[in-house]
Chain A
Amino acid sequence: MNKILLIIQREYFSRVKKKSFIVMTFLTPLLIAGVYAIIGYFTYKGIKDTHDTVAVVSTNKTLTEKLQTDKNIEYAYIDKSLDEAKKSIGKADYDYILYLPEFTLDAPKGVELFGTKQAGMSLNRRISGDIEELIKTQKLKESGISQSDLDKLKTVVDISTKKIAETGAEEESSAGASTFIAFTAGILMFMFIMLYGIQVMRGVIEEKTSRIIEVMISSVKPFQLMMGKIIGIALVGLTQFMLWIVLTLAISTAAVSFLVNKNDVKEMAAAQAESQVTTASPQMAAATAQAGPIGDIQKSLAGLDVGKIVSVFIFFFLGGYLFYSALYAAIGSAVDSETETQQFMMPVMMPLLLGYALSLSVVANDPYGSTAFWLSMIPFTSPIAMVVRIPYGVPTWELALSMAILVLGFLGTVWVAGRIYRVGILMYGKKTTFKEMFKWFTYKN
């Protein structure tokens, strides 16, 4: 037992002390936060900064209302023919020409947009939206409904989803936040199992190729060496996971308090107040849409049992990791170099990939369906499927059963892997086949 501890220590510290571990641990959350910050910044900047001037040439007599100019787009009605406007487009101070021909309100056809540059998707959508709005206003006006009547018609309905727990208590929940957490957890689980499983395999290959293995197993049992390595690397994984949680929380708290400064909060509050009384302008809609998920997540994070989700995640990470890393250790023991691992990696990777793909599609869409149930029971896929299901709520008996099966599963793979490992690590120079591995498995000692 003491020897296993020594091995765990070495495996743990030799990895944690590595520069690459420290760099990765601190950089990854920064990178993730950074990427999101950059995306957010440019999206925001894009919305804020675009300013296009569109000259409107209208031969339309039915449209008496005019297109409304705002911060991002300026509509200038000009008294020129289309051809004249086209000729002067290079010199004049407008970028685009919008041509509104004569059409009936029910079938608006022939609208054209000319420009010296190709109009982007968002501008296109923006203008067509504005025209639709314009036609709508025109129609309403013709039917004798005033703008104020229209505003009165507008009501906002916010559905708050509540889940009735087994205890009968109602829990605040949000499909959005659950999906977000389910996806994050699923992706993390997949990444962790793969990354650390492969580290186990590399470690075994390293010991084999550097030939230290024979010295080692004249001191310790192969099984001790294998388990020491697996557990040591599991602790590295947990350390990294914990650090990431702490760092991500710290960074996102800092980022939120930095980005959402006082002015923004005021603006946002004003925008929200405004949007309730006036017609929501597109940017405001965008602003509320942005505020939406954040508020949503904050609200339902309170509803979700974060402690439970994190502890289930850790349990299934450990279980799934033990399950797979034992197989990776067996592969490592059977080959002489990393290039030979391909043929054995496939059958191990397949169920993991399948579990990942199905969990993020089928299970996330229907977390209570039978596919979800079976995927979260089979130990090959349960670590990913279960963490995807857990934010939506899983009956306790299913969770317990899945955990029990996973424990049995990893005891099984560890046992099988141990038997292959003890023979494999001493085999050199032979191309190993599955048949051979089975033979090793059946060796007496």
Chain B
Amino acid sequence: MLSVKNIVKQYATHRALDDVSLEVERGKIFGLLGPNGAGKTSLIRIITQITAPDSGEVFFNGERLNTKHISQIGYLPEERGLYKKMEIGEQVLYLSKLKGLDSAEATKRIRYWFEKLEMKDWWNKKVEDLSKGMQQKVQFVATVLHQPELIILDEPFSGFDPVNADIIKNEILELNRNGATFIFSTHRMESVEELCDNIALINKSHKILDGTVDEIKASYRSNTYWVEYEGNYHATNNDIYQVLQTENVKANTLVKLQLKENRTANEALSLLLPHVNIHRLDEVIPTMNDIFIEKVKGQIHE
């Protein structure tokens, strides 16, 4: 539903985005990852039409991005903010009217959401009287109230306690089931693995990786396994595997094996079985965190 094509954005002395392209499919949760200053916010600002790219194009549902699309996009910036002196209800109403909702409809939806997120009594409260987590909730409601097709969340869980983070996560998943597409910009990799279908990794103004989370993880598999066994046996290198690490855990032994090319875990096990009592075999799958760090660090060394 959203395609970003060859975006270049140049600020006075530095290039924030250099030939960045990506595709966000309808109904997916898309993770936009990258270290601080990589260009994520610049890209989001282009998608939300806060700024325009120097070159390149963005298409929304096949149409060139234009002002009509503003009402179809919801944006929760990383730096949250509300008018401090304004009452919550009035404030959310104002923000949703700016997105094109009429008063009656907006009021109805605000009541629905306030009920749902247990903030019924907040209507007449002022923002400055709310805790930071409460303000985040208000802002989340303001972001999704106009039922945008595309919801862009920049670090959505920062500032939430675990309970509220969980509530918000479930709301996100529910909205997603009802058809909303999400773009997540975050450094928190555990939430990426939990929620995202696809990701793109941006570093130093370039996109350096993209694809589905499963594919990416699969491509980073290194045929490495943890094997835990009982028995007095010292595993050594052979032509099936190489022993990377050996540890003793209580009475058991834990070894990390890397299979040689075209060897399978079964072959490794059949070598071990005569000597020991196998308790566990786990494939070592890199986490998104590992991949993130590896890719970003790799680039620094280049």
Q: Which residues of A are at the interface with B, using a C-beta cutoff of 8 A?
A: 3, 6-7, 10, 14, 206-207, 210-220, 426, 439, 444-445
Contact = CB atoms under 8 A, between A and B. Distances in A.
Contacts of A214: 50, 75, 77, 79, 81
A219 B98 CA distance: 6
Given A210-B83, A212-B83, A218-B70, A444 B54 contact: yes
Contacts of B97: 6
B16 to A, nearest CB: 12
A426 B80 contact: no
Nearest to A426: B50
B50 A219 contact: no
B95 interface: yes
Nearest to B45: A426
Nearest to B70: A219
A216 B77 contact: no
Interface in B59-91: 70, 73, 75-77, 79-86
Given A215-B77, A219-B95, A210 B48 contact: no
Contacts of A14: 83, 85-86
Contacts of B299: none
Interface in B83-128: 83-86, 94-95, 97-99
A192 to B, nearest CB: 23
A332 to B, nearest CB: 15
A218 B48 CA distance: 6
Contacts of A218: 48-50, 70, 73, 75, 77
Contacts of B300: none
Contacts of B77: 211, 214-215, 218
Given A218-B49, A445-B51, A212 B94 contact: no
B12 A439 contact: yes
A212 B95 CA distance: 10
A216 B84 contact: no
A303 to B, nearest CB: 48
**Interface size of B as a range:** 20 to 34
A73 B52 CA distance: 84
A84 to B, nearest CB: 77
The binding surface of chain A is classed by DSSP as helix
Instruction: Please indicate which of the listed interface residues A10, A219, A444 has the most CB atoms of chain B within 10 Å of its own CB.
Output: A219
A213 B75 CA distance: 12
Contacts of B86: 14
B142 interface: yes
A11 to B, nearest CB: 11
B95 A215 contact: yes
Nearest to B12: A439
Interface in B125-156: 139, 142
B81 A219 contact: no
Contacts of B83: 14, 206-207, 210, 212
A216 B79 contact: no
A214 B95 CA distance: 12
Contacts of B73: 218
11 contacts: A3-B98, A14-B85, A207-B81, A210-B84, A211-B80, A212-B83, A218-B73, A426-B45, A439-B12, A444-B54, A445-B51
Contacts of A439: 12
Given A14-B85, A210-B81, A211-B77, A216 B54 contact: no
A155 B75 CA distance: 83
Contacts of B51: 426, 445
Contacts of B95: 215, 219
Nearest to A214: B77
B249 to A, nearest CB: 49
Contacts of A6: 94, 97-98
A14 B127 CA distance: 14
A212 B82 contact: yes
Nearest to A444: B54
What 7 pairs between A and B have smallest CB-CB spacing? A211-B81, A212-B81, A445-B52, A214-B77, A219-B98, A218-B48, A211-B79
Contacts of A444: 52, 54
Contact of A220 (B12, B81, B98, B142): B98
B52 A215 contact: no
A206 B83 CA distance: 8
A215 B81 contact: yes
Nearest to B97: A6
Contact of A210 (B76, B82, B94, B99): B82
A216 B98 contact: yes
A413 B75 CA distance: 31
A100 to B, nearest CB: 72
Instruction: Please indicate which of the listed interface residues A10, A211, A214, A218 has the most CB atoms of chain B within 10 Å of its own CB.
Output: A218
Contacts of B76: 215
Given A211-B77, A214-B81, 8 more contacts: A3-B98, A210-B81, A214-B77, A215-B142, A218-B77, A219-B95, A220-B98, A445-B52
A426 to B, nearest CB: 7
